[in-house]
Chains A and B, each alone.
Chain A
Amino acid sequence: GAGVSQTPSNKVTEKGKYVELRCDPISGHTALYWYRQSLGQGPEFLIYFQGTGAADDSGLPNDRFFAVRPEGSVSTLKIQRTERGDSAVYLCASSLAFGGGHNEQFFGPGTRLTVL
């Protein structure tokens, strides 16, 4: 079946610009997560949604970062006034309802963001 998809696969932008990254989770997965992976590092948690609501946004680095999931399926990560330090691979994952917390997360291929 279809896995998690992310678009675009690559995004190059200039410092100060606004970008949107899209994630389409596995059908039926109510939990959706965003992570950021810098070169040579493990993924770092940004935010997760249960349905339409952001249940935990403690990983968002500052108020330039925002994410939405208006219909409980597709999610968009939005970054305002991009900085060179935002350059990384942004990963999206989804899982079945978290009750118990043991469900594995399925990851998309990521969006590589480069801020010049």
Chain B
Amino acid sequence: AQSVAQPEDQVNVAEGNPLTVKCTYSVSGNPYLFWYVQYPNRGLQFLLKYITGDNLVKGSYGFEAEFNKSQTSFHLKKPSALVSDSALYFCAVREPPYNQGGKLIFGQGTELSVKP
């Protein structure tokens, strides 16, 4: 069965420092991977996705993620954190077969806190 793990419930970073939010996955075949962000009382917002091609994917708000097939990881990164980045982050994997819809399997979420 496909699964996603976010090993850290919370990540604390000082403003201006780089941030990493970790995600590992387990899926049969080549994975389609996504990152979403959830601000309080708001819906999930799409950040970026990996489908194929370059392992480093760039997304919204200066975020990027690195796909590592050998480590089955898709960590979210940002070179310089902002206080406004504080939110709940979800990693998700699209479940194959890919010709049968877009069901996403989400991780538990990681709470990112950026302090001034």
* Beta-carbon nearest neighbor of B90 in chain A: A42
A54 to B40, CA, bound (A): 31
Binary contact readout A88-113 vs B (1 if CB under 8 angstroms, 0 otherwise): 00010101001111111111111000
- Which of B45, B102, B109 is A42 in contact with, Cβ under 8 Å? B109
List residues 18-74 of chain B with CB under 8 A from any CB of chain A.
32, 34, 36, 41-46, 49, 51
Which residues on A sit within 8 Å (CB–CB) of B106? 42-44
Q: Taking A91-B44, A104-B46, A107-B43 as contacts, is the C-beta distance between A98 and B101 under 8 angstroms?
A: yes
**How big is chain B's contact interface, by range?**
20 to 34
Interface flag for B105 (CB, 8 Å): yes
Question: Across the interface, do A105 and B45 meet the contact criterion of CB distance under 8 Å?
Answer: no
Chain A at the B interface: mostly helix, strand, loop or mixed? loop
Residues in B with CB closer than 8 Å to A109 are 41-43
Chain A: interface size category: 20 to 34
CB of A4 closer than 8 Å to a CB of B: yes
Question: Are B109 and A101 in contact, with the CB atoms below 8 A?
Answer: no
Interface positions, chain A 44-96, Cβ under 8 Å from B, are 44-45, 48, 50, 55-56, 59, 91, 93, 95
Q: A48-B101, A50-B101, A55-B101 are in contact. Are A101 and B32 (CB under 8 A)?
A: yes
Q: Does A26 contact B (CB under 8 A)?
A: no
B84 CB to nearest A CB, Å: 19
B103–A41 contact, CB under 8 A?
Answer: no
Q: Assess A43 versus B44: contact at CB under 8 Å? Given A101-B94, A102-B94, A104-B34.
A: yes
* A4 in contact with B43 (CB, 8 Å): yes
Q: Taking CB as reference atom, which chain A residue is nearest B92? A: A42
CA distance A102 to B99 in the complex (A): 10
B100 and A56 contact, CB distance less than 8 A? yes
Give the residues in chain B near A41, CB-CB below 8 Å.
108-109
List B residues at the A interface (Cβ < 8 Å): 4, 32, 34, 36, 41-46, 49, 51, 90, 92, 94, 96, 98-109
Using CB atoms and an 8 Å cutoff, list the residues of chain A in contact with chain B: 3-4, 31, 33, 35, 40-45, 48, 50, 55-56, 59, 91, 93, 95, 98-110
